[in-house]
Amino acid sequence: MLNLEKRPTPSQKWAYMTPVLAVLGTMIVGGVLFAALGKDPVVAIRTIFWDPLFGEFAFYYRPQLLVKGGPLILIAIGLSLGFRAGIWNIGAEGQYIIGAICGAGAGLAFYPLDAWYIFPLMILCGALGGMLWAMIPALLKVKFGTNEILVSLMLVYVAEQLLASMSLGLLKNPDGMGFPGSRNLKDYPAAFNDEIIAGSGMHWGVVFAFIAVIFAYVLLNRHMLGYQIRLTGQAPRAARFAGVNPARLILFCLGTSGMLAGLAGMFEVSGPSGQVSIDFNTGYGFTAIIVAFLGRLHPVGILLAGLLMALTYIGGEIAQGQLGLPGAAIQLLQGMLLFFLLAVDLLTNFRIRLARKGAA
């Protein structure tokens, strides 16, 4: 029989190895799954993990990696701060939507004025919108002890209704001939979040994602607030003893994650998506939860995990198109990734021993 035995000190080696093992495990079991669906597993895995990077049309897919990875990383960095402290913001999707509405709304209010300050103002409004949306569960938790998981999740649905109402009402394109959705910001240069280097996929949101990674790294490793976040997550009573103010920490963690999610939404609506529409949100806010954990809640890990998750998105689309794999199979693959990570994760804190037969 196998026995699990707690390690006195978590293994550093395994902490770095588990994500790699999880990816390998996902590839193997995913391959079996694809084989069961009647596809060649090697081709399927190659299509998903290899072709977007090095295949024939990689020049087209590589920029997509940044376009899809940017918002995931930005949101996941924010979430990871809270998750480290045991504060569970599950509603990043809602904050993402509100950030998009506020950001796009601020830009469209000035249409068709052409001024340098419009785009910075949109960034500010997007960040503020996301932050305020996240402050609702934060304040309710601090004041009344409500559960932030439920409140933040419920607010996603409220935000979705708001999004629908905005695309049909207040923000609807007056020249859109009755179709739902706002003006396309691609046609409004002062508000358009264009690629910084043409053809690279690098827009301002990606830049902000990289800044967020560095910011989070410094915060967690070098700053008192980051230390308090880690301490609160690991030992809440010790945190209280160390003088941590739990209410302040809740406001900071939820506020920051909401702000980053709002930013991601704003950069998305003003760039790749272009307009506020009913189906604007595509689940980045939820996928970012997986990215945060896949990246071990570590800023650099999240950077890599975000790119990996973006890869499965893009590769998944190619596989759907070229091999006719069902979309659900791709989602299964993504879920498997988190599942394997959590399973293999045990190895960091535990070691496996073959149990001897008990003598007695």
Partner 1 sequence: MTATLLSINGLTKAYPGVIANDDVSFDILQGEVHALLGENGAGKSTLVKMIYGLVKPDSGHMVLNGAPYAPPEPRAARASGVAMVFQHFSLFDALNVAENIALGMESPPKMGDLATRIRKVSEAYGLPLDPFRTVGDLSAGERQRVEIIRCLLQDPKLLIMDEPTSVLTPQEVEILFQTLRKLSAEGTAILYISHKLEEIRSLCDNATILRLGKNVGTCIPRDTTARDMAEMMVGDTLMTPKSAGREFGPVLLEVSNLSMKSPGAFGTSLKDLNMAVRQGEVLGIGGVAGNGQDELLLALSGEILTPSEAIKLDGAAIGHLGPNQRRRLGLLAAPEERLGHAAAPDMSLTENAMLTGAVRQGLERRGFLNWSKARDFAEDIIAKFDVRTPGAGNAARSLSGGNLQKFVIGREVLQTPRVLVVNQPTWGVDAAAAAAIRQALLDLAAGSTAVVVISQDLDELMEISDHFAALNEGRLSATRVAAELTIDEIGLMMGGAHGMEVAHG
Q: Which residues bind partner 1 (CB under 8 A)?
A: 5, 8-10, 222-225, 227, 230-231, 234-235, 237-243, 245, 356, 358-360
Element (H, E) at 325: none
Tokens linked to 320: 């759907």
Q: How far is the CB of 83 from partner 1 (least distance, A)?
A: 15
Element (H, E) at 6: strand 2-6
Nearer to partner 1, 328 or 360 (CB): 360
Q: How far is the CB of 359 from partner 1 (least distance, A)?
A: 5
Nearer to partner 1, 200 or 234 (CB): 234
Q: How far is the CB of 229 from partner 1 (least distance, A)?
A: 12
Which residue, 276, 297, 261, 216, is CA-closest to 71? 261
Measure the CA–CA gap between 152 and 95, rounded to whole angstroms.
Answer: 9
Cα dihedral across residues 278, 283, 284, 288: positive or negative: positive
Nearer to partner 1, 188 or 293 (CB): 293
Which residue, 265, 279, 282, is CA-closest to 101? 265
Q: Which amino acid is at 153?
A: L
Strand, helix or coil for residue 256: helix
Nearer to partner 1, 228 or 287 (CB): 228
Measure the CA–CA gap between 295 and 293, rounded to whole angstroms.
Answer: 5
Exposure string of 147-180, with b = 16+ CB inside 10 Å and e = fewer, is: ebeebbbebbeebbebbeebbeeebbbeeeeeeb
Query: What Rg value do the Cα atoms of the chain yield, rounded?
Result: 22
Tokens linked to 58: 């990689």
Task: Name 239's Cβ contacts closer than 8 Å, sequence gap at least 6.
Answer: 228, 231, 232, 246
Q: How far is the CB of 337 from partner 1 (least distance, A)?
A: 25
Q: How far is the CB of 90 from partner 1 (least distance, A)?
A: 24
Q: How far is the CB of 235 from partner 1 (least distance, A)?
A: 4
Nearer to partner 1, 115 or 242 (CB): 242
Nearer to partner 1, 143 or 356 (CB): 356
Nearer to partner 1, 186 or 230 (CB): 230
Q: How far is the CB of 343 from partner 1 (least distance, A)?
A: 20
